[in-house]
Amino acid sequence: MVPKGYLFSTVDAAIKKAGRKDLALIFSQREATVSGMFTTNTVKSAPVKLDMEKIRSRRAQAIVVNSGNANACTGEKGMQDAREIVRLVAGGLMVNSSLVYICSTGVIGVPLPMNRIRPEISKLTRGIGKSTLEDVAKAIMTTDTFPKIATRKMKIGKTTGIVTGICKGAGMICPLMATMLCFIMTDIAVEQKTLDRTLRGAINSSFNSITVDGDRSTNDTVLIMANGMLANKHITEQSTSYHLFKKALHDITRELSRMIVKDGEGASKLVEIQVRGAKSEADARKAAYAVANSNLFKTSIYGNDINWGRIMAALGYSGITLKEERIDISFGKIPIVKKGTGTGRESKAREILKQQEFIIVIDLNIGKASAKVLTCDLTEDYVKINASYKT
Amino acid sequence: MVPKGYLFSTVDAAIKKAGRKDLALIFSQREATVSGMFTTNTVKSAPVKLDMEKIRSRRAQAIVVNSGNANACTGEKGMQDAREIVRLVAGGLMVNSSLVYICSTGVIGVPLPMNRIRPEISKLTRGIGKSTLEDVAKAIMTTDTFPKIATRKMKIGKTTGIVTGICKGAGMICPLMATMLCFIMTDIAVEQKTLDRTLRGAINSSFNSITVDGDRSTNDTVLIMANGMLANKHITEQSTSYHLFKKALHDITRELSRMIVKDGEGASKLVEIQVRGAKSEADARKAAYAVANSNLFKTSIYGNDINWGRIMAALGYSGITLKEERIDISFGKIPIVKKGTGTGRESKAREILKQQEFIIVIDLNIGKASAKVLTCDLTEDYVKINASYKT
């Protein structure tokens, strides 16, 4: 389901290799209000740097995205290339280049093959409307194994608004965003500050609560465009329909972030780590991430091995306040650790470990704060994929 | 080479499974001065807790060690078991139990099989002198593929003193010590504070500068015994031979810690990450560890893939002060990144990557501090080993 007023185009620019669409364009017929969040990595790609400037205007009409090359660590040349693509796309679409955003994902440190990209851009802009949203979701994939789309409808008065998001990401996924691009579109008119705040909240409990491998990328970007084609009265935090919009955005980002972990490089299982009873939310998150990022924990999940000692060890080095003798851990509903020692119910819990998705609950029993983090197992395939990504 | 006055014994107590020596004893004929360092993990094994009390006396005469079971997260039962083993060993050796230290390594959260250990202890103490140091080094191995021994001789006046260390460790290896046990023996008399300080210095630039997988264990222990059998005048920091002793200890711990990384679970390559030009030593260490622990970096090393973007990304999320456009990176002597962008010399550097040991130098060019960290690659074998460690 696509919100009103958004059109798409994709072409094959042979950026990494020929034979698949790797350059995509999202175009809104009307100038939209835009909000964005970008990687917290100090080393930022050229497109991220450019978009962080652009977004001050809070206005957008198009996003051009390439896969196969991150345009990161490419110096001044990288900035020039990104600006040139934006200029060419803006020219083709006949919109102001300040309204055209750019995103890249792929290998770091290699200049964009401008000689192959440049000639494809007029085809890209001329082709607007000839591709589907799914074509775009596919064109932005790198090591992803499936396109990621989530959508929600909501009633506003007598009309029905749509919020739809796509994203890509499978490796370099970690706290504070990931090698992850996410584009959300809606035809609902939303007041700019409301859009900002709601996006931040949604990202925090979705993309900022997942991990695949603990590595944070240089290119992470989330952009949401609200073009107001529905002609509703701008939604603000005071609007009666605000809670519906907020829920839609939270649902979509959570659904998409779940897909990312599920598609984690080489991953075979999805695990939600819930930490409860922590002294503070920061402690709960730290503890959950220490477990979620532990290679030893992740390999034992892969091996159907209830090696709960690795969870205890990760909690112990996470740097949080804890009392070993108060810790309870359960796999699904099976208590595995009570007051810091094993319950001997491993064989029961092994059944849970064999499932593709399950929850591990860690209760520190020393406070009231909690946090959740989604992670996946670490498999031989992760190593295979990443040992040969570039070459 | 074994220093004077140390005797060894090993038995098969079938702790994890039968068929290999898994219980070992190091005995000094004379009471020795002892120094120790223990894991910084908040979750500590029973033996670590016990030894941390014992070491206040600064005296030791024996160390009993088992592999196959960490005796961690085993509650009050674990403490009782550790105390019982110490008591039985002390009884058999006819020394005060305060002089007997205990160390365990292996799976976490499983009580020691005391019914199998108990009857073996008299055999262990009776057998003293019947095993070699190498037998002990083998008995303490878990996933290690080779025993780790390092030794140095030094002249003190007309006599020759010996310092010898053994250690074990292959997984759960990270900053601030690892699942690592290390026992160092010397026949040289060393004043207690000097022993303490020299050990701390040596560990800092050896065991505290390596990583295999970023996981820190509950059992890490380094103990050094100086029994003074050489009958030299106690070495202090003012002694003329102090620098020789210091060098011997630094050399041994560095050699042993190098062996640990070389034997890293599944590892095929040893990489030294040197960070220079940082604002502070803390920054340099943080940066070196961020790279050394990055799964993406480690898999690219395995795949002979000069994916230097992953180094840049890791530096970027390490949380240190840096200027992207000042960063230089070289593989061996081949400059790969100059001022934040690629030099295009990947094919030359690939030859270096194919070596079993090499150095990567990262110059941040914004300060004068530096640090070195040893790491290894991440391979399918790491996953295989750890997916099935317990079961």
B125 in any annotated domain: yes
Which residue is associated with the tokens 């008399």?
A: B189
Given A41, A313, A384, which is nearest B313 (Cβ)? Answer: A41
> Could you read off the pLDDT of A195-209 as tens digits, one per residue?
999 999 888 878 777
**Is the ipTM value over 0.85, yes or no?**
no
Are A80 and A152 part of one and the same domain? Answer: yes
CB–CB of B313 and A390 under 8 A? Answer: no
Query: What distance in Å separates residue B325's CA from the closest CA in chain A?
Result: 7
Are A136 and A25 part of one and the same domain? Answer: yes
Are A359 and A221 part of one and the same domain? Answer: no
- Whose CA is closest to A277, among A365, A337, A340, A373? A365
Residue to substitute from A296, A339, A346, A362, interface B, most B β-carbons within 10 A: A296
Which residues is A36 bridged to in the sheet? Answer: A223
CB–CB of B378 and A380 under 8 A? Answer: no
**Which residue type is seen at A235?**
I
* Options A33, A142, A179, A221, the catalytic residue: A179
- Whose CA is closest to B231, among B190, B185, B184, B183? B190
B1 in any annotated domain: no
- H-helix or E-strand containing B51? helix B46-54
What CATH code is carried by the domain that includes residue B295?
3.10.20.340
**Which residue type is seen at A383?**
V
CA dist A171 and A178 (Å) reads 8
CA dist A35 and A356 (Å) reads 35
In the structure encoding, which two tokens stand for residue B324, read together? 């992207």
Are A183 and A320 part of one and the same domain? Answer: no
Residue to substitute from A41, A268, A380, A383, interface B, most B β-carbons within 10 A: A383
Are A235 and A139 part of one and the same domain? Answer: yes
Are B205 and B311 part of one and the same domain? Answer: no
In the structure encoding, which two tokens stand for residue B359, read together? 């150095």
CA dist B101 and B223 (Å) reads 9
Given B40, B171, B307, which is nearest A389 (Cβ)? Answer: B307
Q: Are A235 and A247 in contact (CB under 8 A)?
A: no
Given A307, A314, A337, which is nearest B389 (Cβ)? Answer: A307
Are A233 and A132 part of one and the same domain? Answer: yes
Given A108, A306, A388, which is nearest B310 (Cβ)? Answer: A108
CB–CB of B296 and A390 under 8 A? Answer: no
Active site residues of B: 179
Give the residue from chain A lying closest to B219, CA to CA: A313
pLDDT of residue A33: 95
A296 in any annotated domain: yes
- Measured between beta carbons, which residues in chain B are less than 8 angstroms from residue A314? 215
Query: What distance in Å separates residue A148's CA from the closest CA in chain B?
Result: 23
Coil, strand or helix: which one is A38?
Answer: strand
Q: Are A327 and A337 in contact (CB under 8 A)?
A: yes
Are A352 and A376 part of one and the same domain? Answer: yes
Residues (pLDDT < 50) of chain B are 172-178, 391
pLDDT of residue A246: 94
A138 in any annotated domain: yes
Query: What distance in Å separates residue B4's CA from the closest CA in chain A?
Result: 38
Give the residue from chain A lying closest to B217, CA to CA: A313
CB–CB of A341 and B74 under 8 A? Answer: yes
| CA atoms B278, B279, B281, B287: torsion sign | negative
- Which of B262, B297, B327 finishes a domain? B262
CA dist A172 and A216 (Å) reads 5
Please tell me what DSSP assigns to residue B98. G
- Measured between beta carbons, which residues in chain A are less than 8 angstroms from residue B299? 382-383, 386-387
Residue to substitute from A42, A71, A80, A321, interface B, most B β-carbons within 10 A: A42
Q: Are A346 and B144 in contact (CB under 8 A)?
A: no
Give the residue from chain B lying closest to A303, CA to CA: B387
pLDDT of residue B325: 92
- Measured between beta carbons, which residues in chain A are less than 8 angstroms from residue B172? 296, 313
What's the structural domain count of chain B? Answer: 2
Given B109, B172, B341, which is nearest A312 (Cβ)? Answer: B109
CA dist B230 and B212 (Å) reads 37
Q: Are B48 and B219 in contact (CB under 8 A)?
A: yes
CA dist A264 and A257 (Å) reads 10
Give the residue from chain A lying closest to B388, CA to CA: A303
Decide the pairing of beta strands A23-38 and A6-11. Answer: antiparallel
B342 in any annotated domain: yes
Interface contacts A/B by beta carbons within 8 Å: 224
DSSP B183-212: EEEESS-B-HHHHHHHHHHHHHTTGGGB-S
Given A214, A315, A383, which is nearest B380 (Cβ)? Answer: A383
- Measured between beta carbons, which residues in chain B are less than 8 angstroms from residue A171? 296
- H-helix or E-strand containing A53? helix A46-54
Given B214, B317, B383, which is nearest A302 (Cβ)? Answer: B383
Domain carrying residue B224: 6-262
B99 in any annotated domain: yes
Residue by residue, pLDDT tens for chain A (391 residues) are 899 999 999 999 999 888 999 999 999 999 999 999 888 788 889 999 999 999 999 999 999 999 999 999 899 999 999 999 999 999 999 999 999 999 999 888 889 999 999 999 999 999 999 999 999 999 999 888 899 999 999 999 899 999 999 999 865 444 333 468 899 999 999 999 999 999 998 888 787 776 665 556 678 888 999 999 999 999 999 999 999 999 999 999 989 988 888 887 778 898 999 999 999 999 999 999 999 988 889 988 998 888 898 899 889 888 899 999 999 999 999 999 999 999 989 888 888 989 999 999 999 999 999 999 888 888 888 788 777 755 4
Q: Are B329 and B362 in contact (CB under 8 A)?
A: yes
CA dist B352 and B341 (Å) reads 20
pLDDT of residue B170: 67
Task: List Cα–Cα distances, A322 to A316, A317, A340, B295, in angstroms.
Answer: 8, 10, 11, 28
What CATH code is carried by the domain that includes residue B28?
3.60.70.12
In the structure encoding, which two tokens stand for residue A302, read together? 């892969």
Given B42, B299, B322, which is nearest A387 (Cβ)? Answer: B299
CB–CB of A296 and B172 under 8 A? Answer: yes
- Measured between beta carbons, which residues in chain B are less than 8 angstroms from residue A174? 317
Q: Are B182 and B141 in contact (CB under 8 A)?
A: no
In the structure encoding, which two tokens stand for residue B244, read together? 């020789």
CA dist B335 and B328 (Å) reads 7
B98 in any annotated domain: yes
CB–CB of B302 and A171 under 8 A? Answer: no
Q: Are A293 and A299 in contact (CB under 8 A)?
A: no
Decide the pairing of beta strands B341-342 and B357-363. Answer: unpaired
Task: List Cα–Cα distances, B4 to B10, B157, B185, B188, B225, in angstroms.
Answer: 19, 17, 9, 9, 12
- H-helix or E-strand containing A197? helix A192-204
- Which of A228, A262, A296 finishes a domain? A262
Are A222 and A282 part of one and the same domain? Answer: no
- Measured between beta carbons, which residues in chain A are less than 8 angstroms from residue B307? 107-109, 389-390
Give the residue from chain A lying closest to B216, CA to CA: A317
Residue to substitute from A105, A177, A212, A215, interface B, most B β-carbons within 10 A: A215
pLDDT of residue A81: 98
CB–CB of B216 and A391 under 8 A? Answer: no
B167 in any annotated domain: yes
Query: What distance in Å separates residue A73's CA from the closest CA in chain B?
Result: 5
CB–CB of B312 and A109 under 8 A? Answer: yes
Query: What distance in Å separates residue A48's CA from the closest CA in chain B?
Result: 14
Are A332 and A364 part of one and the same domain? Answer: yes
Are B252 and B288 part of one and the same domain? Answer: no
- Measured between beta carbons, which residues in chain A are less than 8 angstroms from residue B218? 309, 312-313, 316
Q: What is the pTM of this model?
A: 0.78
- Which of B197, B227, B262 finishes a domain? B262
Are B274 and B231 part of one and the same domain? Answer: no
